[in-house]
Amino acid sequence: MSKKILIVSSSPRKGGNSDVLCDEFLKGAQEAGHDCEKIFLRDKKINYCTGCGFCVTNNNTACSQKDDMAEIIDKMLEADTIVFATPIYFYAMAGQLKTFIDRLCARYTHLSNKEFYYIMAAAENSPSAIQYALGEFKGLMDCLNNPVEKGYLFAGGVWQKGEVLNTNYPKQAYEAGKNI
């Protein structure tokens, strides 16, 4: 059965390691017959949540800020599967993705019955390098209605841009996309 898949790449580097893995995931998912779109957060204007409460007083249907976030949330609502990809900095997700997740506050109660997959790339090779990021993802999942975590890919030991191309991780990302 064909799924609608939205990939959210938070790498600040176009062609960075986590971004390359997004592209491979996308290629595998498309070859499996899924309808896919990749959003590169670096190309979007997403402000910080100001905690103004506008979303709460409007039944979590809108945000007071006028930036690219509303368009992206609409795409998330249409998607069956959402893939979050991030480089790992200081054992946590990139600030771009955290800011994005914080802004989901405006409509997170509408993100029901979605599948989620995570892609993380880090210079550190130890699996412990992603524990904080996984905790941040879990915090989001705990706030959603019936989320299904499909898994994650951890690409460790890659720091310099493109370094991931000399590993087996792109193939793993491709296979994950093909089997989502």
Maximum Cα–Cα distance for the chain, whole Å?
50
Predicted local distance difference test score (pLDDT) of residue 99: 97
Q: What is the pLDDT along the chain (180 residues), one digit of tens a residue?
A: 899 999 999 999 999 999 999 999 999 999 999 999 999 999 999 999 999 999 888 888 889 999 999 999 999 999 999 999 999 999 999 999 999 999 999 899 999 999 999 999 999 999 999 999 999 999 999 999 999 999 999 999 999 999 999 999 999 999 999 999
Q: Which residue has the tokens 């498309």?
A: 30
> Cα separations (Å) of 9 from 5, 54, 60, 109, 146?
13, 27, 25, 22, 23
Per residue in 122-169, pLDDT tens? 999 999 999 999 999 999 999 999 999 999 999 999 999 999 999 999
Residues in the chain: 180
Cβ density class 115-135: b for 16+ within 10 Å, e for less: bbbbbbbbebeeeebbeebbe
pTM for the model stands at 0.96
